[in-house]
Each structure stands twice: as structure tokens, then as C-alpha cells.
Chain A
Amino acid sequence: MSEQDYLKDISEIKDLMNRSSRFISLSGLSGIFAGIYALIGAAVAYWLVTNSGREYLILDGKVFKFIMLDLFLIAFFSVITAIYFTTKKAKKAGVKFWDASSRRLLINFLIPLITGGAYILIILNQQKYGQTGALMLIFYGLALINASKYTVGNIKYLGLAEIVLGLICAVYPGYGFWLWVLGFGVFHIIYGAMMWIQEKK
């Protein structure tokens, strides 16, 4: 075998290792859109709260229910958009959207996320509202870091950034809203754009 053959072997090994263990078709566009949805959702929430005549939220109020719906819609549209762009990218790359690697990615992403979501709902029911923003950021960051082992790209750093922001938010719960906007809106757009530029290259 010639040197060329050995080089080919090595690159094939690398390719198979990546392809078999990591899901490679995540699209940066889904990050950008998730960020935009978060900004729109935050603007709606801001408008709702400032027009409610109260400075803060109470759990059984109508406003609170609208905000829960608002959050749900942000998550819903983000997921739909992510599925759309990811299937498109997977098709283009000739890989399956739903296989062992995407399944593993999703499961590992959801474990911290659902844990966090359940925990937040539990403490909201105990009338502890102050840490909601911080907890959302921290658990989302942990979910990203956990998922990063199963995909390419630097999702890990986005996760770390969200966790740091979440901890800052825990110290200054009064800025919770703005830190949430920064974490879920601005960070997503920046990260998505960086990933998208990399894809284009």
C-alpha cells in the first residue's frame, strides 16, 4: 500500500467515527430562528406585564397563564423550525434524520432539560418565582453540554455561556428578564450565525 492509501484509511476512520457517534446535521439556522422567537416572545411578555398594572407576576393570574402560553409557543416554534432545517440538511448530506445518533443526541439533551422543567414547575407551585429565569438558563446550559458529546460544532460553549449567565441571574434575580433575553435570544442568534457561517464555508 502506498502512503496515499494510508492517508485515505485515516480519513475514512475519522469520518466513520464521527458519522457513527455524532449527529452532524444540526443547522445553525435553527439557532438563529430560536433566538428570534425568544426575542419576540420576550417582547410579548414584556408588553403583557407592563400592561397588567402590576410590577411582578402572581401565579394564579391571567397574565401568568399568558406567559406560560408564550413560553410554550417559543419552545414549540423553535422545535418545529429545528426539525425543519435539520431534516433539510440531513437530506442534503444524504444521512438519515432519525437514526441511532440523532436519537442519542435527543435523549441526552432532554434528560437535563426535562429535569429542569419539572423542577421549575414544582417550585413555581411552591410560590418561589425568583429563580425561574436562572434555573431555565442553568438547566438549558447543562442540556446543551450533555448533548454536545453527540454532535459536532461548539454547542458546549453555548451551554457554558448559558450556565454562567444563569448563575449571574441567580445572584441578581431582578435582572432575570433581561438575562433571559440575552441567553435565549441574543446568544442563540450569535451562536446560530457563527455555526451557519461555518456551514457555508
Chain B
Amino acid sequence: MGIIENINKLFDHRIRLGIMSILMVNEDADFNRLKELLDVTDGNLASHLKALEKEEYILVQKQFIGRKPNTRYSATKQGKAAFRKHIEALEKLIRKT
């Protein structure tokens, strides 16, 4: 049963899993880049980002480029560790069967 415990509920959703995958291999990504890669609507993406932010898996930095607001997201240490654990659990589950 230990393996199932390591499966992270928060990552049990395509978009949240996708956000973390992107932020694992990129220093950061802005809102539009995430939207483009994941092919989701603004509202949908925003709510999933909020969920990850609340858990402190991602860091949100708001800034301005010229006059346009720009929000950049990056994975926190905690978030990366949680994601790795999740992947390991996934791998074990697949190998087992």
C-alpha cells in the first residue's frame, strides 16, 4: 500500500501534472507560454495554478514588461521534490503490473 500513498492527489489531474512537467525542465514560464503548451482556457489554467500555488509547489512572480503585466511561474524546491516522488510512485505502479 506504500506506493499508493506516494501518488500525489494534486498531480492526479492532467493540467496540474502538465504545469509541473513544464516547470521541472524550465527555469520559469509565463502564463501565455503555459497556456499555449497545455492548450487550455485562461480560467481553467488559472484555477489549477492557484491550487499548486496554495500548496507552495510553484512560485508566482508578477512583473511588468513595458505596460503589460506578466506573470512568471517557477517550481519550488518542495514542488520539485513532490513531483519526483509522484513520478517514482507512477513508475513503481507500472513496473509492478
Measured CB to CB, the residues of A under 8 A from B are 1, 3, 6-7, 9-10, 12-13, 16-17, 19-21, 96, 99-100
Q: Is the CB–CB distance between B87 and A20 below 8 Å?
A: no
Q: Is the CB–CB distance between B22 and A12 below 8 Å?
A: no
User: How far is B92's CA from A3's CA once the two chains are assembled, in angstroms?
Assistant: 11
Asked whether B65 is an interface residue with its Cβ less than 8 Å from the other chain, the reply is no
Q: Is the CB–CB distance between B22 and A20 below 8 Å?
A: yes
Residues of B within 8 Å of A, CB-based: how many? 20
Asked whether B24 is an interface residue with its Cβ less than 8 Å from the other chain, the reply is yes
- What are some 16 contacts across the A-B interface (CB < 8 A)? A3-B97, A6-B93, A7-B94, A9-B90, A10-B90, A12-B21, A13-B21, A13-B87, A16-B22, A17-B24, A20-B21, A20-B22, A20-B29, A20-B37, A21-B25, A100-B33
How many A-B contacts at CB < 8 Å in the complex? 47
Measured CB to CB, the residues of B under 8 A from A are 12, 14, 17-18, 21-22, 24-26, 29, 33, 36-38, 87, 90-91, 93-94, 97
